Chain A
Amino acid sequence: MSAPSLTKTPAGTSRRTAPPRPAGRPSRSERFSRGLRRNLTAHGFLIGAVLCFAVFSWYPMIREFFLAFQKTEAGGTHWVGLDNLRTVVNDPAFWQAWRNTLLFTLLALLIGFAVPFLVAIVINEFRHGQGYLRLLVYLPVMLPPVASVLLFKYLYDPGYGLLNEILRFLHLPEQQWLQDPDLAMPSVVIAATWMNMGGATLIYLAALQGIPGELYEAAELDGAGLLRKIWHVTIPQTRLILSLMLLMQIIATMQVFIEPFLLTGGAGPEGSTTTVVYLIYQYAFNFNNYGAAAALGLLLLVLLAGFSAAYARLSRARDE
C-alpha cells in the first residue's frame, strides 16, 4: 500500500493513521498543491448550498436583529433603539397573545404530548392490527393542512357541523366551538392534535420497540403491576426520546399559526386565539411595520433559545 497522500493535508484528516512514508515522499509544495486542489474541489461542492444558506438563512438572521432596532420610513432607514420593542409591549394585544400562546402550548402538551404516548403504549401491546392503527394515526399528517383545517371548520359549525350532531345524539348540550371565546382555543388544539399526533405516535412506537423485554420480566419477578412497569421501565427507558419530543413540541407549539389563522381568522372571538406568531404576521403583512414584527420575533426567539439549546444538547447526548 503506497501512501495515499491525497488524504493528508495540513488541514488534517485526522481519522486515518498515517502509513509509514515510503522513499518517494511528496515534496512540500506538491503536498500543498494537492491540499489546495482538494480544498477547492470541496468548496466547489459546497458553494451552491452555502450561497443559498448565506442569502436565505444567514443574511435574514442578521437582518432580523437589525430590523428589530430600526425603522423604515419614506425618508429612509434609521436606528430607533428600543422603540419597536416599546410599541410591541404597549400593544393591548401583546399580553393576550402571550397568554393565548401559552394556553395553546399547555393544552397541546396535555393532549398532544400525553395522548400519543399512551396510544403508542397501547398499540405496542397488540399482537395484530398494528399496521392498520399506525396507518390511521399517520393519515392526517399526510393531508394538506388547509384541507384538514377547513374540514374541521365545517365539523365545528354550530348548526350543520358533525360535532354538535354527535352531542345532540348523546343528549349533551350543544356548543358554539370556534365562536365561543372560552372554547375557541381548545377547539383549535383538538384540530391541531388530530392533524399532527401521527408523527409523535410513530416515534414513540419505535422507541417502545427498543425496550429490552427482560426488563419487564425482571420487573414482574419483583411483583410490579402494569402501572409500576410503565413507571419504572417504560418511562425511564424512553426518557430521552420523551424529553426530546417534549422540547420539540414546546418549540413547535409556541409558534402556532396556521391552525388559528385558518380556523378563526387568526384573532378569534374577543381575540381569544390571537397568538404571538399571528401578531408578528399582522405587524409585518397587515400594518407593514417590519420593525415591530422583528422586535416581537426577537422576543419569541429569546424565549425559545433556551429550549432549542437544551434540545441540541440532548440530541447530541443521544447520538453518542
Chain B
Amino acid sequence: MSTRTLVSPAQLARPRGKAVYRTVFGLVVTGFTLVFLGPLYWMISSGFKDSQEVVRTPPTWVPQSFAPDNYSRAWEVMDLSTLLFNTLYYAFGALAFQLVLDVAAAYALSKLRPVLGKAILGMMLATLMIPATVLVVPQYLTVLDVPVVQRNLLDTPWAIWLPSVTNAFTVFLLKRFFDSIPQEILDAAAMDGASPVRILWSIVLPVSRPILGVVSIFAVVGIWKDFLWPMLTLPDPSKQTLNVGIYSLSNGVPVNVLIAALTIASLPTLLLFLVFQRNIMSGLTAGGLKG
C-alpha cells in the first residue's frame, strides 16, 4: 500500500505504534478466522460425526467418531447430483438469456438510440423501485398463466430463465459501459459497411469483457442463491434447486447427514470463489451499488 491512510506512518514507526499495530492485527486476524472459518470448520467436522455424537450435549470440538459415509449417504438420500445439475442448468441458462437479451437491449439503448428508447430504459429502471418481494405474488400468478400465450410455466426452466432477464440493474450496468465506448469507432465501422450485429460482435463485445464478467457473475450467483422464487415455481422435487431441495428434505434426514449435505452444497461455490476471488470481489466493487 503506497497510499496514506488514517493512521500516520510516523506514528506506526514508533515502538508503541508498532506494538499497538501488531496487537490489533493479531486480534483481528484471529477474530476473523474464528468468526468466519469457525462455523465452516464446525460444519465440515460435524459432517464426519456419527449419529449419536452429532447430537451429544455437550458437543465435541474434535470428532471422536469418524463416519465419512455421511457424505455418500447425503449425496444419495438427498439426490444432490440432480439438485446440483438442476441449479447449474438454471444458472447457466439464465446467464445465456441475460447475456443475449440484456446485452442486445443495452446496446440498442446506448448506441442505436431508437425512438422511445429513453422511455423504455426509464420503465426498466422503474422496476428497481418496486420491492422484489412485493412483486413475487403477481409474478407467480403470471407464471401460472402467462398472458397471451396462455402457458403454465410451473416446473419448467422458463420460469427461472425468462424472469431473470428482467434485471434492470444488469441492463443499466451494460448500458453505462457501452456509453463509454467512443461513437467514432462504431461510426467508422458502420461506414466500412459493418452491420449493427457485426459492430456489436466485433467491436463492442471484445472491449466490454470486464463488464460482461461482472454481469455474468451477478447472474450466476443470483440464481445460485435464490430461494423463494425457485421454491414457488419449481415444486416438483426432481426439478428443484440445491437450496430448495435441501430445505425441503432438511427435516427428514438425520442431523449428521444434513450437515454433510450442507458441506457438499457449499463446496462448489467455495471452490469457485477461491479460484475467481479476484474477479468476483473486484466485480462487486466495480459494479458498485445498485442504481
Contacts and interface: CB of A to CB of B under 8 A. Distances in A.
* Ranked 4 nearest A-B pairs via Cβ: A213-B4, A42-B114, A42-B112, A49-B105
B180 interface: no
Contacts, number: 311
B284 A203 contact: yes
A4 B191 contact: yes
B98 to A, nearest CB: 9
Interface residues of B, number: 109
B257 to A, nearest CB: 12
Contacts of A147: 43, 243, 246, 262, 265-266
B137 A136 contact: no
A294 interface: yes
10 contacts: A16-B183, A42-B113, A46-B109, A53-B168, A55-B146, A60-B138, A64-B134, A151-B39, A165-B59, A203-B285
Given A58-B123, A61-B127, A216-B6, 10 more contacts: A2-B191, A7-B183, A7-B190, A64-B138, A132-B29, A151-B39, A202-B285, A257-B228, A285-B232, A290-B137
Contacts of B131: 251, 254-255, 297, 300-301, 304, 308
Most chain-A Cβ atoms within 10 A of its Cβ — which of B32, B131, B225, B255?
A: B131
Contacts of A290: 137, 141
A98 interface: no
Contacts of B43: 147, 151, 154
Contact of B39 (A7, A59, A194, A213): A194
Interface string B108-135: 1100111101001001110111111111
B64 interface: no
Contacts of A6: 190
Nearest to B195: A41
Helix, strand, loop or mixed for chain B's interface? helix
Interface in B11-63: 21, 24-25, 28-29, 32-33, 35-40, 42-43, 46, 54-59, 61
A47 B221 CA distance: 26
Contacts of B55: 159-160
Nearest to B132: A255
A229 B6 contact: yes
Contact of A226 (B7, B35, B281): B7
Nearest to A152: B39
Interface residues of A, number: 114
Nearest to A121: B6
B8 A216 contact: yes
B120 A60 contact: no
Contacts of B21: 125
A162 interface: yes
Nearest to A206: B285
Contact of B243 (A144, A155, A230): A144
B29 A203 contact: no
A38 B29 contact: no
B45 to A, nearest CB: 10
B101 interface: yes
Nearest to B38: A162
Interface string B73-92: 00000000000000000000
A134 interface: yes
Contacts of B242: 144, 146
A33 to B, nearest CB: 15
A131 to B, nearest CB: 8
Nearest to B277: A135
Helix, strand, loop or mixed for chain A's interface? helix
A126 B25 contact: yes
A179 interface: no
Contacts of A38: 112, 114
Contacts of B134: 64, 280, 297-298, 300-301
A154 B46 CA distance: 10
B206 interface: no
Most chain-B Cβ atoms within 10 A of its Cβ — which of A7, A161, A209?
A: A7
Interface in A148-170: 150-152, 154-155, 159-162, 165, 168
Most chain-A Cβ atoms within 10 A of its Cβ — which of B37, B123, B274?
A: B123
A43 B59 CA distance: 63
Contacts of B100: 48
B243 A43 contact: no
A150 B259 CA distance: 8
B62 to A, nearest CB: 13
Nearest to B291: A315
B290 interface: yes
B135 A57 contact: yes
A122 to B, nearest CB: 6
Contact of A139 (B147, B258, B270): B270
Contact of A217 (B4, B38, B108, B165): B4
B102 A49 contact: yes
A311 interface: yes
